[in-house]
A and B are shown apart, each in its own frame.
Chain A
Amino acid sequence: NAGVTQTPKFQVLKTGQSMTLQCAQDMNHNSMYWYRQDPGMGLRLIYYSASEGTTDKGEVPNGYNVSRLNKREFSLRLESAAPSQTSVYFCASTRLASGAGVYEQYFGPGTRLTVT
């Protein structure tokens, strides 16, 4: 299994450009998440998808859109990039941990985005 994969690994955008970050998991997980990580801020949830066909806003959704294309794929789109969106973006997915009823999360390798 590849686990959680993300593309691209690095990206530089000019202010106002758009792009889509791709995420895929091959673990048959129901729930998928997009986080951003900024120095001194910790990880913050942008959007999540509890199951195929549903998406919900997280803590910092402004300036982003998401698509849960199918069970495997969850993409994050920046329609008009701003310097404040310079960050490292992580995708994650969860499965139900057996017996405990809680959720173990698996993270992708991250995408380092710079907006100039």
Chain B
Amino acid sequence: KNEVEQSPQNLTAQEGEFITINCSYSVGISALHWLQQHPGGGIVSLFMLSSGKKKHGRLIATINIQEKHSSLHITASHPRDSAVYICAVIVQGAQKLVFGQGTRLTINP
């Protein structure tokens, strides 16, 4: 079983829909990253959080440390949000990231 599990693996939605991507992990962590990877492109860090909630524009990330769960929400989704979203955790006491397999999001106009 992977230490970091994301769901769904693939998600297709219409423009304007509210999107939720989930991440569950089984190890103790010091922080969690949400990353975005566009087709053919590099990887960009969207959020790093260790508690509570963060918001950047239409993106919201939440984390529940007790439940070992994080969610990434996108409000008013747009075709340019189409990308792979990757959850990664920083294992407690380590300097390494452990990655989920990613969620491929497609937003249709």
Chain A residues within CB distance 8 Å of chain B: 31, 33, 40-45, 48, 50, 58, 90, 94, 97, 100-110
Dominant SS at the B interface? Answer: strand
| Interface size band for B | 20 to 34
Instruction: Count contacts between A and B, CB distance < 8 Å.
Output: 55
Chain B residues within CB distance 8 Å of chain A: 30-31, 33, 35, 41-45, 48, 50, 86, 88, 90, 95-97, 99-102
Contacts known (A43-B86, A90-B43, A110-B42); A105 close to B99, Cβ less than 8 A: no
| Inter-chain contacts of B35 with A (CB < 8 A) | 107
| Inter-chain contacts of A40 with B (CB < 8 A) | 101
Contacts known (A40-B101, A107-B42, A107-B43); A100 close to B96, Cβ less than 8 A: no
Q: List 18 A-B contacts (CB under 8 A).
A: A40-B101, A42-B100, A43-B88, A44-B99, A48-B96, A50-B95, A100-B31, A103-B90, A103-B95, A104-B48, A105-B33, A105-B88, A105-B97, A107-B35, A107-B42, A107-B43, A109-B41, A110-B43
